[in-house]
């Protein structure tokens, strides 16, 4: 089956620093990648959608200057949390899809737990 990896799996950083999270599709080309955030005991909330080679589309309420997304290749997308603060502490999960067809399956990564002190 399709495998999506994320790195790092856990990160602890000081307030004010920036953190980069990588999402890779290991055995398929991901035309579209998604970034989600999940707070404890809550559901996944879509943050942004990125198509390879295009600028990411952010959901309402998500600051694009704070959450920088780059999808430079068909197998790699990165999310950079800039000037992180404790309220950014969360579980960040990416997913990848082989096409832009909405009904195609999204394959999820294992998630990255970010803790901002």
- Give the DSSP letter of residue 106: P
Q: Which is nearer to another protein, 32 or 77 (CB)?
A: 32
Spatial contact of 32 and 99, defined as CB atoms under 8 Å apart: yes
Q: Whole-number minimum distance, CB 2 to another protein, in Å? A: 10
Provide the binding-site residues for another protein, judged by CB under 8 A. Answer: 4, 6, 32, 34, 41-46, 49, 59, 91, 93, 95, 97, 100, 102-103, 105-111, 113
Cα–Cα nearest to 49, from 61, 40, 58:
58
Q: How far apart are the first and last CA of the chain?
A: 37
Q: Whole-number minimum distance, CB 27 to another protein, in Å? A: 15
Q: Which is nearer to another protein, 2 or 13 (CB)?
A: 2
Q: Which is nearer to another protein, 15 or 64 (CB)?
A: 64
Q: Whole-number minimum distance, CB 112 to another protein, in Å? A: 10
Pairing of strands 90-97, 32-38: antiparallel
Cα–Cα nearest to 76, from 18, 36, 31:
31
Q: Whole-number minimum distance, CB 46 to another protein, in Å? A: 6
């Amino acid at each position: 089956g399709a495998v999506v990896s994320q790195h790092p799996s856990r990160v602890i950083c000081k307030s004010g620093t920036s953190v980069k999270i990588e999402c890779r599709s290991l055995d398929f080309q991901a035309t579209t990648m998604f970034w989600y955030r999940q707070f404890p005991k809550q559901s996944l909330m879509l943050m942004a959608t990125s198509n390879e080679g295009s600028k990411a589309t952010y959901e309402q309420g998500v600051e694009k200057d704070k959450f920088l997304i780059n999808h430079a290749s068909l197998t790699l997308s990165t999310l950079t949390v800039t000037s992180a603060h404790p309220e950014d502490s969360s579980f960040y999960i990416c997913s990848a899809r082989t096409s832009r067809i909405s009904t195609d399956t999204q394959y999820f990564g294992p998630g990255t737990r970010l803790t901002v002190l």
